[in-house]
Amino acid sequence: MTTNQDQLLFGATVTKVVSATAELGLADLLEDGPRSSAELAKILDADQRSLRRLLRALAGLGLTRQTDTDMFELTEAGGCLRSTTDDSIHALSVMLWDKASWLSWGELVTAIRTGVPGWLQAHGMFWIDYYTSHPAASAVFNKAMAQHSRAAAPGLVDAIRPERFDTILDVGGGDGTLIAELLTAQSTLQGIVFDLPSGLEDAATTLDARGVADRCRLEPGNFFDEVPKGADAYLLKQILHDWDDAAALQILRNCRTAMPPTASLLVLDRMLPELAGPNDVPTLLVDIHMLVVTGGRERTEAEFRSVLSQAGFTMTAVSDAIPPYDYRVIEAS
Under 8 Å between Cβ of 199 and 149: no
Length, in residues, of the chain: 333
Domain 3-87 part of CATH 3.40.50.300? no
Q: Where are the domains of the chain?
A: 3-87, 134-332
86 pLDDT tier (thresholds 50, 70, 90)? confident
Q: What is the mean pLDDT of residues 245-255?
A: 98
Return d(Cα 52, Cα 233) in angstroms, integer. 52
Under 8 Å between Cβ of 178 and 153: yes
Q: Please, what sign has the CA dihedral across residues 19, 22, 24, 29?
A: positive
Alpha helix stretches (DSSP H) within the chain: 3-24, 26-29, 37-44, 48-60, 90-97, 99-105, 108-114, 118-123, 127-133, 135-160, 177-185, 203-210, 245-258, 281-293, 301-310
Under 8 Å between Cβ of 189 and 216: no
Give catalytic residues, as residue numbers: 241
Domain 134-332 part of CATH 3.40.50.150? yes
pLDDT (tens digit per residue) in 91-134: 999 999 999 999 999 999 999 999 999 999 999 999 999 999 99
The pTM (predicted TM-score) of the whole model is 0.92
CA distances from 303 to 194, 215, 244, 310 (A): 26, 35, 12, 11
Q: What is the per-residue pLDDT for 1?
A: 65
Q: What is the per-residue pLDDT for 2?
A: 72
Q: What is the per-residue pLDDT for 270?
A: 97
CA distances from 218 to 150, 174, 212, 284, 287 (A): 19, 10, 12, 34, 31
Exposed, middle or buried: residue 23 (CB in 10 Å: 0-12, 13-18, 19+)?
A: middle
4 pLDDT tier (thresholds 50, 70, 90)? confident
CA distances from 294 to 105, 118, 233, 269, 305 (A): 11, 8, 26, 15, 22
DSSP β-ladder status, 71-74 and 64-68: antiparallel
Return d(Cα 92, Cα 146) in angstroms, integer. 9
Return d(Cα 234, Cα 168) in angstroms, integer. 6
Q: Which residues pair with 267 in a beta bridge?
A: 236, 330
pLDDT (tens digit per residue) in 178-198: 999 999 999 999 999 999 999
